[in-house]
A and B are shown apart, each in its own frame.
Chain A
């Protein structure tokens, strides 16, 4: 297969306008045949085929294309499939040098230098994600080893009888909903919140202190400050998943936080780290993965299979045998017909009624217009 690039036709132009294609997809062309036209700031030029083959356009007429971008391919047969992702040269990659792909760092340069200064092996510094300066400083402060275990004088002596002590991750409005549940649960109690916004450290939410950053979870677990974690934020699904996986990798336990008003029916299988807000329902034989956040009045009907790391707005209503993949985001008031399968990574907008399957990584939007006008003098 031959890749056709946007030619550099003048030193002033980083981009050009694709005017049209003069051959049809699948047409056989010889080297040097005109396949389309492109317009620079100076003139319109013919695009000549860079070799022989069957023409497959990879850009739409009217598009502004970057110099060096792959805009068509010439394949060996008329019906050959072109793997766009594999051959596309991203326009950004053609820009300035120096911005070459930086390898994924496990610690910042500052943290590395600080560790060296203190004679510490940085690999030993506990942190969630990238080790930062603050993690090293904390490690130094604790004498380079985990702090001795503290604990409650009574509950520490009778661990079997005490409520499960929960550290809540995230200090926003999601946390308020989780704390509201925990306030009404006797078997669980919130002992603190972790949030990376340092400006709120030392303050409290509903009487529960925001104690530190997410990177401190491992150290606080070793100090036995809490028994389980739960993630309360819902605004960033990718971060929700990443935090869950990183904490699990470090062996930190999660728990489910479920409002007492939620109905859980027979044979429900439930993972960990799920939050289920008031008046939810899990039908018989439903299976729920990990780290989902179900707002109020969410009904996961019988024989449903729900993956992990999903969030639901209030009033999402599934019917029987619905299958939902990982990392899906649902708006408010979604209805799902029986047997519908929703692939991983989908976004379903509020008010949608799903009657057919949704492939993975798709957005489902609803077009409903809201008409609004002032009430007239007659009060209508």
Chain B
């Protein structure tokens, strides 16, 4: 078990990128020392790498637009959007500029830009600081969307995004995750493995049973919902309900084969996400797996996500609206009983 928290692992990775490549630069709102960004991911970096970290006015379009330009001119910019809710203010820069230029100019330019931003609720931040809006950016050609969870090193993913690629990456962090420990390898109940498809963004597989036993249910999720899933997997293990959970980190190019293979064994797929239900990651996973395994066997499908309402500020109302570990357990048990 690692004792690093998500935020310290991200900070360490940023420092390593700054050391490894002089082209790495960073800007965003309030990212300078001593504040170090609203969630402290950039803590201390401006002090240690003078002249390479810049604070900006409150204009997401400008923050991302500058990033696109700098990336085209040969830098490797990392920009921070303080709350993911405001990423849509830079949607035009992402969709019509960053993602398109390589294709429009037939490869003559590249845009190695990383846009980091935290999504997610469970903290009572209200309607415009709690959402998970990444689904609106899934499916944009040329735009990679990566999401961290607490079963794999988020820093390793960030290093791949900054140093490893040629195209733009939207890097989704999560407010509820920041203070959590990175849990690698598992413990007596959970076993964690990483499936790498050479993209540098491994898909995490978490199971709540030991080798040689048949799984009852395939589950797919991503991002901060890994926390709710950890509790759900432990509760389900006590009931001897065996779950094979897949947590992709590269959401925009899903590694489908292991999920399809699992569903062909279990006959059940539970897709879940923290964002609102429908027109989403979950519906895409269900559709794609149904296309793959559907003709060979009958499988049961189900989705869990947030209710399609505005996120309340009141924490107890927010808890009702967002998917809980209890909702995941209930959905899993209902699928087993069907």
Are these two chains actual partners, yes or no?
yes
A residues in contact (CB < 8 Å) with B: 11-12, 96-100, 102, 105, 108-111, 113, 132-133
Closest to A11 in B: B124
Residue B319 is within 8 A (CB to CB) of chain A in the complex: yes
- Contact in complex: A110, B324 (CB < 8 Å): no
* A105 contact set on B, CB distance < 8 A: 238-239
Extra inter-chain contacts (11) besides given A12-B123, A97-B320, A100-B326, CB under 8 Å? A11-B123, A96-B228, A96-B319, A97-B316, A97-B319, A97-B326, A98-B329, A109-B239, A110-B240, A113-B336, A132-B240
- Contact in complex: A98, B228 (CB < 8 Å): yes
Pick from A96, A109, A113: contact of B324, CB under 8 Å: A96
Closest to A112 in B: B239
- Contact in complex: B241, A109 (CB < 8 Å): yes
Q: Given A11-B123, A110-B240, A110-B241, do A98 and B231 touch, yes or no (CB 8 Å)?
A: yes
* A98 contact set on B, CB distance < 8 A: 228, 231, 319, 324-327, 329
Q: Given A11-B123, A109-B336, do A99 and B238 touch, yes or no (CB 8 Å)?
A: no
B150 to chain A, nearest CB (A): 14
* A111 contact set on B, CB distance < 8 A: 240
A111 to B316, CA, bound (A): 34
A137 to chain B, nearest CB (A): 11
- Contact in complex: B240, A102 (CB < 8 Å): no
How many residues of B are counted as interface, with CB atoms below 8 angstroms from the partner's CB atoms? 23
A192 to B122, CA, bound (A): 53
Report, nearest first, the 3 A-B pairs whose CB atoms are least far apart: A98-B326, A98-B324, A110-B240
Most chain B CB within 10 A, of A99, A100, A109, A111, is at A109
Q: Given A11-B124, A113-B336, do A97 and B240 touch, yes or no (CB 8 Å)?
A: no
Residue B125 is within 8 A (CB to CB) of chain A in the complex: yes
A367 to B122, CA, bound (A): 47
Closest to A12 in B: B123
Closest to B336 in A: A113
Most chain B CB within 10 A, of A97, A108, A132, is at A97
A344 to chain B, nearest CB (A): 29
Residue B235 is within 8 A (CB to CB) of chain A in the complex: yes
Q: Contact string, B298-338, partner A, CB cutoff 8 A, digits 1/0?
A: 00000000000000000010011000111101000100110
* A99 contact set on B, CB distance < 8 A: 231, 325-326
Closest to A97 in B: B319
A31 to B228, CA, bound (A): 40
Contact residues of A: prevailing secondary structure: loop
* B228 contact set on A, CB distance < 8 A: 96, 98
B window 225-249: CB within 8 A of A: 228, 231, 235, 238-241
A134 to B329, CA, bound (A): 22
B191 to chain A, nearest CB (A): 16
Q: Given A97-B319, A98-B228, do A133 and B240 touch, yes or no (CB 8 Å)?
A: yes
Provide a sorted-by-A list of 21 A–B residue pairs whose CB atoms are within 8 angstroms. A11-B125, A12-B123, A96-B324, A96-B325, A97-B319, A98-B324, A98-B327, A99-B325, A99-B326, A100-B326, A102-B235, A105-B239, A108-B239, A108-B240, A109-B240, A109-B333, A110-B239, A113-B336, A113-B337, A132-B240, A133-B240
A159 to chain B, nearest CB (A): 39
A217 to B239, CA, bound (A): 22
A264 to chain B, nearest CB (A): 42
A111 to B238, CA, bound (A): 11
* B231 contact set on A, CB distance < 8 A: 96, 98-99
* A108 contact set on B, CB distance < 8 A: 238-240
* B235 contact set on A, CB distance < 8 A: 102
* A100 contact set on B, CB distance < 8 A: 326
* A109 contact set on B, CB distance < 8 A: 239-241, 333, 336
A100 to B319, CA, bound (A): 13
A347 to B319, CA, bound (A): 42
A290 to B126, CA, bound (A): 59
B window 106-145: CB within 8 A of A: 122-125
A102 to B326, CA, bound (A): 10
* A113 contact set on B, CB distance < 8 A: 336-337
* B326 contact set on A, CB distance < 8 A: 97-100
A345 to B231, CA, bound (A): 31
A270 to B177, CA, bound (A): 57
* B324 contact set on A, CB distance < 8 A: 96-98
* A97 contact set on B, CB distance < 8 A: 316, 319-320, 324, 326
A107 to chain B, nearest CB (A): 9
- Contact in complex: B125, A96 (CB < 8 Å): no
B153 to chain A, nearest CB (A): 24
* B124 contact set on A, CB distance < 8 A: 11
A110 to B213, CA, bound (A): 13
Closest to B237 in A: A108
A109 to B335, CA, bound (A): 12
B window 262-306: CB within 8 A of A: none
A59 to chain B, nearest CB (A): 22
* A132 contact set on B, CB distance < 8 A: 240
A105 to B333, CA, bound (A): 15
A98 to B230, CA, bound (A): 12
A317 to B319, CA, bound (A): 57
A133 to B336, CA, bound (A): 15
Closest to B125 in A: A11
A99 to B230, CA, bound (A): 12
Closest to B232 in A: A98
A7 to chain B, nearest CB (A): 14
* B337 contact set on A, CB distance < 8 A: 113
A97 to B315, CA, bound (A): 10
* B320 contact set on A, CB distance < 8 A: 97
A191 to chain B, nearest CB (A): 29
A282 to B238, CA, bound (A): 43
A97 to B321, CA, bound (A): 11
* A102 contact set on B, CB distance < 8 A: 235
B window 12-68: CB within 8 A of A: none
A99 to B122, CA, bound (A): 14
Most chain B CB within 10 A, of A97, A98, A105, A108, is at A98
A105 to B235, CA, bound (A): 12
A105 to B337, CA, bound (A): 17
A214 to B37, CA, bound (A): 56
Closest to B323 in A: A98
A97 to B231, CA, bound (A): 11
B232 to chain A, nearest CB (A): 8
Closest to A133 in B: B240
